[in-house]
Amino acid sequence: METSMPKVFQLGFVALGVADFERTRDYYVDTFGTTEVDREKDGTVYLSVGYHHHDIVLRPADDKSLLHLGYQLNAGTELDAFAKEVGAFGLKAQKKSDSQPGIAELVEVEGPRGNIFQFYETIDAPAPGFKSGAVSPLSLGHVAVISHEAEKLIAFYRDFLGFWETDWIGDLANFLTCSYEHHVVNIVNAPLSKVHHIAFQLQDNSHQFRAADRLIADGVPTKWGPSRHTAGHNVASYHYDPDKNLIELYTDMDVFVPELGMCQPRPWHEHFPMKPKRWDPQFSAWEVEFGFDLAQG
């Protein structure tokens, strides 16, 4: 099977405009277990899961919003050439130097319907370490975005960035990846423009229960799960941060093998080989009722 590599290899960070700022910042540091690595004069904080300069960026704002997504380009990518390619694809791209701490150079791209992307080849890695005694995820994993212009957004990911499509749920959700994980982004086709959820990987399934215990100790209820999804087969649990952003914690995500166009076989798969397919609108492998309206967020 002919495969070409995507231009990026991981989701690097998610930047949010935050209305309930102090509570949300404290939640991410004290309960979730990230470390504040940097703070700008306007109050923007840069939070690290454990290694990179930032995985989450929170900026004080009147209304909550998704500011931008950061994706790390493959090693050796030349930023000027990348910006030109984006322009040739028909989107606006601007190279920026020292526009944020931790990233000396990046290319900012205005995607469909105001979705802003920041692409960079290198990010500082101060490695503040992983906190113990908090939720303390392993890594930022994926983001689910609701878009008015899902088709255009999917085309950018698939046709320009080279993401592989790994599954669909009805006409509602598309799953795409640039790595071994089943999805790095899912795009929900609905007349809204917002982030649906942000997902972090945990160590293993026992970490799901430790995380849920840790969350409720700080008064944060788990709204769904841990339970297994259909597309991706991740064991997932969901809760809200204080600004009402939906946060997914996941383990056991399907491993996509691009050379074969399929996921590594697992005992709980409904069919073999687990190739990309259009699922019936059923999100839970165990038929547990899924508690979130994807089209509403």
In DSSP terms, which residues pair with 185 in a beta bridge?
A: 143, 176
| Nearer to Fe ion (CB atom), residue 82 or residue 250 | 250
Least distance CB 199 / Fe ion (angstroms): 4
Choosing from 57, 107, 187, 199, the residue that interacts with Fe ion (CB under 5 A) is 199
Q: Which residue is nearest to Fe ion (CB)?
A: 199
Residues 5 and 162: their CA atoms lie apart, in Å, by 7
Could you tell me which stretch among 31-39, 164-172, 193-201, 285-293 binds Fe ion (CB under 5 A)? 193-201
Number of residues counted as binding Fe ion (CB under 5 A): 2
Long-range contacts, stretch 149-156, CB < 8 angstroms, 24+ apart: 149/112, 149/113, 150/174, 150/187, 150/188, 150/189, 150/190, 151/189, 152/111, 152/112, 152/113, 153/111, 153/112, 153/113, 153/115, 153/187, 154/187, 156/89, 156/91, 156/111, 156/112
| Nearer to Fe ion (CB atom), residue 121 or residue 248 | 248
Long-range contacts, stretch 173-178, CB < 8 angstroms, 24+ apart: 173/144, 173/231, 173/294, 174/150, 175/231, 175/232, 177/256, 178/6, 178/7, 178/8, 178/9, 178/10, 178/71
Least distance CB 227 / Fe ion (angstroms): 12
| Nearer to Fe ion (CB atom), residue 118 or residue 234 | 234
Using CB under 5 A as the binding rule, the residues of this chain from 243 to 272 that contact Fe ion are 248
| Nearer to Fe ion (CB atom), residue 49 or residue 199 | 199
Site string for Fe ion, 229-248 (x = CB under 5 A): -------------------x
Least distance CB 255 / Fe ion (angstroms): 16
Least distance CB 234 / Fe ion (angstroms): 7
Least distance CB 34 / Fe ion (angstroms): 19
Task: Using CB under 5 A, list all residues that contact Fe ion.
Answer: 199, 248
